[in-house]
Chain A
Amino acid sequence: MAPLKIVLRDLRRMVRNPLRTALLFALPLMLAGIFALVFGGGSASEISIRVLVYDEDQGLVSRLLGGAGSSPDMDRRLDLVPVGAEGFDMMERGEASALVHIPAGFTQAYLDGEPAVIPIIKNPAERFLPQVVEEGGRIGAEVLSQGSRVFRTELAAIGGMTANSAFPSDLAVGSVASGVNHKLESLERWVFPPVINLETVTVKPEITDEGEGNGSTILGYFLPGLSMMGILFLAQSATRDILHDRESGLVRHLLTAPVSPADYIVGKCLSVLVISTLGFFLLVAFGIAAGVDWGPTSTVVALVLTASLAVAGALVLVSSLVGTERQADALSTIVIMVWCLIGGAFVPVSQFPDFLRPLAKTTPVFWAVDGFQKAMQQGADIAAVSTNLLVLGGVGVIFLVLGAAALRRRMAGGLI
């Protein structure tokens, strides 16, 4: 029973120190909160780029461009807002990612084959979205430029038609249509069908009975990694107590009571495990409140338990290898940061260079993040993440046993 009393005492200490406890959760919650605020709780596919369109030209080409931007597919990605000159002020206020300015006379210049410029004003406060608009604009300009070269004669004819107020004759229209058709036919070999067919397939494993997870949110993508980092730091704080107890004489005092060294070690290991697990569930709850779907409950619970076991074991082992609180802090911080960096807590492992990818699998962070993402994105059941669970649980048990043995040896040697 003594180990349980030690666990209860440690939990009571957390309750008696609400500020300290809150600070322990502050880092992962703060990071997750920032992600939630930046990206919202919605799906990644719902991210839309707000672009102001100042169409001073109001000509044929500019209307065609506007129409292309409001196609059903583009409509999901782009929020095109027609504006006047006030658009510049709106950009000053940072109300959109970019402003596309189609100057007066643009259509005519295009039809006449004269150089034309479309200024794009980017929001300096944003990093990626204006870049997307610029690249999109570059592609559009390239298409228009090539079209201008290929259909030069026809475009000039259309320019002549629009210059006159009268309706063009059927013959003139037919001549343009025939010219366009002829050129398209001559280009057919290269353009229709394309020389290379690119087929993109997203591999989708079996869907479980509990349904497909819809956790493809930006917050959901980062939350497992951030949670692992948070729990590692939480466990670091909990294991720091072992060293504090040792340095302050509390362990020696405790051993004068009917408490064996094994009781103490089991109690402290349990404490770290319970605190890590509670912390993890708190972060899961935070994610749910922010709209993240973690996936099937049973999978998430199993992953939380085994990931907490791995984290607790690792930090107990670290604390058993060093002599002082300061050494433990230094060593465990290095371990945590390296694991998070190479385990894919911040950057997807798929983005790593080839030589680094195998290393990711040596960290519990990788197996936890991978498991959570399978649950979130594919609705994976326990069987589907069984490798992750086995690795995390196995590593946790091995680390805990090694850590407890090292602590026991230190106590026997009078080092505690």
Chain B
Amino acid sequence: MITIEGLQKHYGEIKAVDGIDLEIQDGEIFGLLGPNGAGKTTTISMISGVLRPDSGRITFDGLNIWVEPKKVKRNLGVVPQEIAVYEDLTAKDNLDFWGSLHGLRGPGLKTAVHSALERVGLQDRAKDRVKTFSGGMKRRLNLCMGLLHRPKYLLLDEPTVGIDPQARLAILDIVREVAVAGTTVLYTTHYMEEAQELCDRIAIIDHGQILTIGTLEALTRQSGESEVLKVVGSFDETAANQRLSGLPGLRLIRVEEGTVLAGIDATGPGLLEILPQVLESGLSIDDVSIQKPNLQSVFISLTGRELRD
């Protein structure tokens, strides 16, 4: 189990991570979801023993990574956001080096390298220099380096940034396989779909703080909304507030010129009654879209902003 208590990191006046507490159970895929700049990378850097926290405690099965770093890191695999591989070495050279750092040698290292390359589909390119790889292949090799020594804990920091959908699916499949084999996975992302598809539990982070934690079902239920309405038209903020704020069962999440985001209360009159009232509110409406509650709507209801903002 990974336990994080009171984690804090400040850069001058900026609170990058502001008192995070988490418990990640053995064998689960735990997602840390948040927009860019929310504090995900700072958090994972501290958890992986690279960045020293200002305060707080991080333990892996009771071992504090900042007290016994080498012991913990032997069981830790990290896939950083950057593609951190030596491009002038071959894929095999990179893995040989990485495996040797984790104490693998001889036939054990050879077998581990072979099976890791096979797992990410790079066995045919083992002897090619990484600089000849596509972006997706480099990402897979990056992942491979984290998996090579079959770690008990795997920390992935936005491992699918900047790659094509096919490579992304391949990486997600590998993460699932690893978790099924018993590895505890901490996965940070700003892609809502990835968190929804992959993670057993999700923590939503913004401005260095955990806003909520739970399963996908629990989080969407927690928002208390059955649907989310997005209304787009030619109206100003004041008019929208005046016309829509009094409607029963409708909770305004965000109102700005030309756009309104509003949640339909699960216990209220329901969409079929509220939608006509919205359309007849007198606002000049061009488009209305209806979403089922998801992490996006949860995030919106918690922060008033969309994940991509």
Enumerate chain A interface residues (CB-CB to B < 8 A): 2, 5, 8-9, 12-13, 16-17, 20, 248-250, 252-260, 412, 414
Which residue from chain B places its CB closest to the CB of A5 in the assembled complex? B100
Interface 9-residue window, one of B66-74, B199-207, B276-284 = B66-74
Which residues of B from 68 to 109 have beta carbons under 8 Å from A?
A: 69-70, 73-74, 76, 78, 80-86, 88-90, 93, 97-98, 100-103
B301 within 8 A of A: no
Chain B residues whose C-beta falls within 8 Å of the C-beta of A13 in the assembled complex: 86, 88-89
Whether A258 touches B100, Cβ cut-off 8 Å, given contacts A16-B89, A252-B45, A252-B50, is: no
Ranked nearest first, the 5 interchain pairs of A and B with the lowest CB-CB distance are: A249-B82, A253-B84, A256-B78, A257-B101, A258-B70
Which residue from chain A places its CB closest to the CB of B94 in the assembled complex? A9
Interchain CB contact (< 8 A) of A16 among B78, B85, B90, B98: B90
Whether A258 touches B73, Cβ cut-off 8 Å, given contacts A5-B100, A253-B80, is: yes
Interchain CB contact (< 8 A) of A253 among B78, B88, B102, B103: B78
Interchain CB contact (< 8 A) of A252 among B84, B85, B90, B97: B84
Interchain CB contact (< 8 A) of A260 among B69, B78, B83: B69
B254 within 8 A of A: no
Q: Is the CB of A258 within 8 A of B74?
A: yes
Whether A9 touches B86, Cβ cut-off 8 Å, given contacts A252-B50, A252-B80, A253-B80, is: yes
Whether A248 touches B73, Cβ cut-off 8 Å, given contacts A9-B97, A16-B93, A255-B49, is: no
Where chain A touches its partner, the secondary structure class is helix
Closest Cβ of chain B: how far from A217's Cβ, in Å?
Answer: 38
Q: Is the CB of B82 within 8 A of A253?
A: yes
A–B Cβ pairs within 8 angstroms, 7 of them: A13-B86, A13-B89, A252-B45, A257-B98, A258-B74, A258-B101, A258-B103
Q: Is the CB of B84 within 8 A of A12?
A: no
Whether A258 touches B102, Cβ cut-off 8 Å, given contacts A249-B80, A412-B52, A414-B51, is: yes
Q: Tell me, in angstroms, the Cα distance from A386 to B103 when the chains sit together.
A: 42
Chain A residues whose C-beta falls within 8 Å of the C-beta of B69 in the assembled complex: 258, 260
Which residue from chain B places its CB closest to the CB of A413 in the assembled complex? B52
Closest Cβ of chain A: how far from B262's Cβ, in Å?
Answer: 42
Chain B residues whose C-beta falls within 8 Å of the C-beta of A253 in the assembled complex: 78, 80, 82, 84, 145
Interchain CB contact (< 8 A) of A5 among B49, B51, B97: B97
Most buried by B among A8, A9, A254, A412: A9
Closest Cβ of chain A: how far from B141's Cβ, in Å?
Answer: 12
A-B contact count (CB 8 A): 72
Closest Cβ of chain A: how far from B87's Cβ, in Å?
Answer: 9
Chain A residues whose C-beta falls within 8 Å of the C-beta of B98 in the assembled complex: 257
Closest Cβ of chain B: how far from A21's Cβ, in Å?
Answer: 10
Chain A residues whose C-beta falls within 8 Å of the C-beta of B50 in the assembled complex: 252, 255-256
Chain A residues whose C-beta falls within 8 Å of the C-beta of B100 in the assembled complex: 5
Chain A residues whose C-beta falls within 8 Å of the C-beta of B45 in the assembled complex: 252
Which residues of B from 1 to 49 have beta carbons under 8 Å from A?
A: 45, 48-49
Interchain CB contact (< 8 A) of B70 among A5, A260, A414: A260
B176 within 8 A of A: no
Closest Cβ of chain A: how far from B126's Cβ, in Å?
Answer: 14
Which residue from chain A places its CB closest to the CB of B42 in the assembled complex? A414
Q: Tell me, in angstroms, the Cα distance from A331 to B34 when the chains sit together.
A: 40
Closest Cβ of chain A: how far from B164's Cβ, in Å?
Answer: 22
Which residues of B from 51 to 70 have beta carbons under 8 Å from A?
A: 51-52, 69-70
Contact with A along B116-129 (1 / 0, CB 8 A): 00000000000001
Q: Is the CB of A256 within 8 A of B89?
A: no
Chain A residues whose C-beta falls within 8 Å of the C-beta of B129 in the assembled complex: 16
Which residue from chain B places its CB closest to the CB of A253 in the assembled complex? B84
Closest Cβ of chain A: how far from B276's Cβ, in Å?
Answer: 54
Chain B residues whose C-beta falls within 8 Å of the C-beta of A252 in the assembled complex: 45, 50, 80, 82, 84
Closest Cβ of chain A: how far from B10's Cβ, in Å?
Answer: 11
Q: Is the CB of A257 within 8 A of B88?
A: no
Q: Tell me, in angstroms, the Cα distance from A254 to B100 when the chains sit together.
A: 12
Q: Is the CB of B73 within 8 A of A257?
A: yes
Q: Is the CB of A259 within 8 A of B101?
A: yes
Q: Is the CB of A256 within 8 A of B49?
A: yes
Most buried by B among A20, A248, A250, A253: A253
Whether A249 touches B84, Cβ cut-off 8 Å, given contacts A2-B101, A12-B89, is: yes
Q: Tell me, in angstroms, the Cα distance from A187 to B51 when the chains sit together.
A: 92
Most buried by A among B70, B78, B80, B84: B84
Q: Tell me, in angstroms, the Cα distance from A256 to B60 when the chains sit together.
A: 14
Whether A248 touches B89, Cβ cut-off 8 Å, given contacts A256-B49, A256-B76, A258-B74, is: no
Chain A residues whose C-beta falls within 8 Å of the C-beta of B85 in the assembled complex: 250
Which residue from chain B places its CB closest to the CB of A257 in the assembled complex? B101
